[in-house]
Amino acid sequence: MKYDFDLFVIGAGSGGVRTARMSASKGLKVGIAEYQALGGTCVNVGCIPKKLFVYASEYSHIFDQAEGFGWSIAKTEFNWDILRENKNKEIERLNKIYNNLLDHVGVKVIRGRASILDPHSVKVGNNVYTAKNILIATGGTPYIPEFPGSKLVVTSNEAFYLKELPRKIIIVGGGYIAVEFAGIFKGLGVETHLVYRGPLFLKGFDSDVRNKIKEEYENQGVVLHFSTDVEEVKKINSGYCVRLSTKEEIDVDLVMYATGRIPNIKDLGLESLNIKTKSNGTIIVDDYFNTSEPSIYALGDVIGRIELTPVAIAEGMALSNFFVTGMRSSVDYTNIPTAIFSQPNSASVGLTEEEAIKIHGIDLRIYKSQFRPMKATLGGGDSKVFMKLIVIHSSDVVIGCHMVGDYAGEIIQGLAVAIKAGATKQNFDSTVGIHPTAAEEFVTMRQPVD
């Protein structure tokens, strides 16, 4: 049978674009449907604008330290409109680049919301396209639970486009997005409260890292309300009144919810197909991204494995390789490094101490170091750098590496190569440091903790 396309991709985000580009560059006929801006979450309302906001916010700490180095800082003033508009221009530039990248390899970009009609046809607007294979790469959307006043709150999607910077904000949630936005708003001079129902945010990260970020945020004046729920949000003249489960009422200009994300499967037409989903809506696929329908594949956030851009891209590389060569390839999900763009940054690769104990029991050595960064000697400030290595005692293999401190993401990315290659503590010890850096501490930690 002759199809319009070899591959039809739904969703031009991190995973969809990579699969489409790689497949088309090797000669396949590819179409891609997108109803929003090209580039998906990461480019438009995720990683990129977030990191730009983190950069903007970090200037406040830099100004604070400058005087100790001899700079006289005139009164600093922050202009939200300039940041938002410059960010928007940069995102539009990236949208165009994505369009060019797809165009360049002959991918047909079809604007509109797609739904699947049958295992080989997709409808976009009034047009129906047939394809040998269909890929669902529709990502996810912020989730706000139902509660009195839930319609009054915003999510990260809207936070990137606020007309005005609030003077006071409540951020609800305990994941990395909530923590990153709390850092952003605080650094931009906003009175920031973070409300989280659990006893400590950043569940799933190493407990030392979680406690360290808590300490840093408290020192910076972010007000943390743990083991607390929001009961109601009411509109009041000047903004919103938020009633917490502690019965405390806080008046703010903005309430932002970062309480998780749900997969974009609404109106995709999955009901009429043999495609299985989990109870949270994520699409079930095998090791090779095949759904229970042989001609339909899914990857990225919509399959809910590890919701990060480089993971969606790695999945796209593996799948396009299959479409082109017929050889199935999977993705190795072990030792994926991650960062939290908190202030200071944090990054990790490998196991947390809690995970390591579950697997290796007491056959472990843990190394920890905490120190004042050199910049603080003249610049001042209470911030400390924290580093941690987790080593299997019997084999000497380093299985976990964690840091809270400036440039943690940059540093851990390098160490992730060593961890992936199976480096031992002896390999770390015999590596000569770069002096004077914070990172050299990773190769000079000699004494395990008890």
Q: How far is CA 97 from CA 7, 15, 92, 111, 386, in A?
A: 22, 16, 9, 16, 38
Among the listed ranges 21-29, 37-45, 193-201, 321-329, the one in contact with ligand FAD (CB under 6 A) is 37-45
Minimum distance, C-beta of residue 147 to ligand FAD, in the bound complex (Å)? 21
393 is catalytic: no
Q: 256 or 392: whose CB is closer to ligand FAD? A: 256
- Rule CB under 6 A: say whether 59 interacts with ligand FAD: no
Q: How far apart are CA 280 and CA 48, in angstroms?
A: 27
Comparing CA positions, the residue from 340, 350, 336, 353 lying closest to residue 404 is 340
Omega prior to 448 cis, within 30 of 0? no
- Rule CB under 6 A: say whether 277 interacts with ligand FAD: no
Q: 14 or 383: whose CB is closer to ligand FAD? A: 14
- Rule CB under 6 A: say whether 14 interacts with ligand FAD: yes
Among the listed ranges 36-44, 91-99, 192-200, 324-332, the one in contact with ligand FAD (CB under 6 A) is 36-44
Q: How far apart are CA 232 and CA 148, in angstroms?
A: 5
Q: How far apart are CA 400 and CA 85, in angstroms?
A: 40
- Rule CB under 6 A: say whether 46 interacts with ligand FAD: yes
Q: How far is CA 184 from CA 55, 78, 264, 344, in A?
A: 9, 13, 27, 11
The full DSSP string for 83-104 is HHHHHHHHHHHHHHHHHHHHHH
- Residue 162 CB partners (closer than 8 Å, separation 6+): 80, 84, 154, 254
List the helix and strand counts (H, then E) for the chain: 12, 21
Q: 15 or 174: whose CB is closer to ligand FAD? A: 15
Q: Which of residues 111-140 bind ligand FAD (CB under 6 A)?
A: 113-114, 137-139
CB 409 within 8 Å of CB 345: yes
- Rule CB under 6 A: say whether 356 interacts with ligand FAD: no
Q: How far apart are CA 228 and CA 154, in angstroms?
A: 19
Minimum distance, C-beta of residue 262 to ligand FAD, in the bound complex (Å)? 12
Q: How far apart are CA 201 and CA 439, in angstroms?
A: 26
CB 160 within 8 Å of CB 195: no
Minimum distance, C-beta of residue 181 to ligand FAD, in the bound complex (Å)? 8
Minimum distance, C-beta of residue 62 to ligand FAD, in the bound complex (Å)? 21
Q: Which of residues 159-178 bind ligand FAD (CB under 6 A)?
A: 177
Residues touching ligand FAD, count (CB under 6 A): 34
- Rule CB under 6 A: say whether 42 interacts with ligand FAD: yes
Q: 156 or 383: whose CB is closer to ligand FAD? A: 156
Q: How far apart are CA 54 and CA 48, in angstroms?
A: 10
Q: Which of residues 417-446 bind ligand FAD (CB under 6 A)?
A: none
Q: Which residues pair with 364 in a beta bridge?
A: 392
Tell me the three state secondary structure of residue 166.
Answer: coil
To the nearest 10°, report the CA torsion of 274, 277, 283, 285: -70
Q: 184 or 401: whose CB is closer to ligand FAD? A: 184
Comparing CA positions, the residue from 125, 127, 100 lying closest to residue 39 is 100
| Binds ligand FAD (CB under 6 A): choice among 301, 353, 406, 441 | 301
| Binds ligand FAD (CB under 6 A): choice among 173, 183, 263, 300 | 300
Among the listed ranges 46-54, 363-371, 393-401, 417-425, the one in contact with ligand FAD (CB under 6 A) is 46-54
* HSE value, Cβ hemisphere, 13 Å, CA-based, for 199: 2
Q: 44 or 369: whose CB is closer to ligand FAD? A: 44
- Rule CB under 6 A: say whether 35 interacts with ligand FAD: yes
- Rule CB under 6 A: say whether 409 interacts with ligand FAD: no
**β-pairing verdict for 140-142 and 385-392:** unpaired
Give residue number: closest CB to ligand FAD: 13
- Rule CB under 6 A: say whether 328 interacts with ligand FAD: no
Catalytic residue among 225, 360, 393, 435: 435
- Rule CB under 6 A: say whether 310 interacts with ligand FAD: yes
Among the listed ranges 5-13, 221-229, 272-280, 372-380, the one in contact with ligand FAD (CB under 6 A) is 5-13
- Rule CB under 6 A: say whether 183 interacts with ligand FAD: no
- Rule CB under 6 A: say whether 320 interacts with ligand FAD: no
Among the listed ranges 161-169, 227-235, 309-317, 378-386, the one in contact with ligand FAD (CB under 6 A) is 309-317
Give the interface with ligand FAD as residue ranges (CB under 6 A): 10-16, 33-36, 40-42, 46-47, 50, 113-114, 137-139, 156, 177, 264, 268, 300-302, 307-310, 312
Residues forming the active site: 435
